[in-house]
Structure 1
Amino acid sequence: MPDHQRADARRNYARILAVAEREVAAHGASASLEQIARTAGVGSATVRRHFPTRRALLEAVSHTRIEALCERARDLTGRADTRAALLAWLDEVVAYSVSVRGLAEALSYDDGAGAGPVRQSSCAAVLEEAAGPLLREAERAGAVVAGVTIADLIDLIVGITLATEHHPDPATRADRLFRLAVSGVIPQPTHPSPGR
């Protein structure tokens, strides 16, 4: 591909992504790919060439926020109070998922449109890798029920986010449901732990 075509493709990608971010913020995961193409001034085929599936588009739109959550997980790893560190990270995942339209869908599992086995979202996989050490520290300290995975916790957050998205106050409702659910997974210690 000649350099000028590659430059055009990069410009198209950046323009489509900028428009997609605005459309997903306004309409969530159901943002129209055709509207994105029209607003970006490209054809639908160009949008589909860059983002072959709706999930690919949502994952690209969510990339910056996913990276921020990964960095936060790394920052919290190594804290003395492993329970508080894990809960602080999970609180941020809940808050992001509720406030950023389309993020819950980007984190959810993909059924490949009915073809083949369930595939994991690449956004969720990146978060699992970044937050794995945080969870393992909490497990070693006995702050988490044995056998719980980051995937379990992300699925829980996605379910709560989707269940509360039409609630009059989705952030408060999601936080309450998450606290109720997580109390069985990350129980309150019987004696006060430092910093919590």
Structure 2
Amino acid sequence: MRADARKNYSHLLEVARDVVAEHGADASMREIARRANVGLATLLRHFPTREALFEALLRTNLDALTQKAGELETSSPPDEALVSWFREMVAFVHSYSGVVALMASAHEDPDSALYTTCTAVHSAGARLLLRAQAEGTARADMDGVDLFGLMSALGWLVGQPGFAPRADHLFHIITSAVLTNRPRNDVKKAT
């Protein structure tokens, strides 16, 4: 990619990030182009579909979360690693309204532009869960799909004005339900 094209691409992503932060996954491609001071055709040349735009927007964050899971696997006790990663995933999901639905549908669709990235982050969380289960500190009756569902639900819930003030409390309730044999105070220390 030429330097000017790379600069335009980066500018479009920066503007898109702002628009999506304001309007969520339903952000208008036209609004992104307008704010970037380009025509819709220019935006579509870089990102031919909404999904391609979201793949570019989310890839960096999801790749970082996948990498973080790998780091936590080797640097933290299994239960603490799981809780730490879970907190970061909830924060990420909360940062873009509607991203949960995009990630959930992409994870089921191998043709999706988001499939590889979503599958990688989903697998990373499942590995952390399995590690905690092997140690006996996480429920044995749940899997990575359950973990993703809880994370998605909590990310959505804390985005609702009535529940936002209770975000930490709800996080502790959910992580206490995931982890076994840990007093509630220990869960707080691990986050």
Q: What interval of TM-score do these two structures reach, taking the shorter chain for normalisation?
A: 0.7 to 0.9
SS of the equivalent of 1:108 reads helix
Instruction: State the Cα deviation string for residues 44-78 of structure 1 (Å, max 9, x = none).
Output: 23323433433332332223322332222122103
Residue identity over aligned pairs, in percent, reads 35
Alignment of 1:105 with 2:100, yes or no, is yes
Alignment of 1:149 with 2:146, yes or no, is no
TM-score, length-scaled by structure 2: 0.75
Instruction: State the Cα deviation string for residues 70-102 of structure 1 (Å, max 9, x = none).
Output: 22212210346211221111112122322x224
Query: Which residue of the partner structure matches residue 35 of structure 2?
Result: 39
Shift, 1:23, TM fit: 1.1
> Structure 2 unaligned runs (5+)?
none
Code of the aligned partner of 2:30: E
Alignment RMSD: 3.2
TM-score, length-scaled by structure 1: 0.73
* Structure 1 pair 19–188 and aligned structure 2 pair: CA distance change class (3 A): same
> Structure 1 unaligned runs (5+)?
112-116
1:98-137 → structure 2 map (5 Å cutoff): 98=94, 100-102=95-97, 104-105=99-100, 108-110=103-105, 118-119=108-109, 121-122=114-115, 123-137=117-131
How far apart are the structure 2 equivalents of 1:34 and 1:185?
42
* Structure 1 pair 155–104 and aligned structure 2 pair: CA distance change class (3 A): farther
Alignment of 1:73 with 2:69, yes or no, is yes
Aligned pair partner of 1:24 in 12, 20, 23: 20
Number of residue pairs matched? 183
Question: Which structure features the higher share of helix residues?
Answer: 2
Aligned pair partner of 2:180 in 157, 177, 187: 187
Code of the aligned partner of 2:123: E
**Is the Cα contact below 8 Å between 1:124 and 1:151 reproduced in 2?**
no
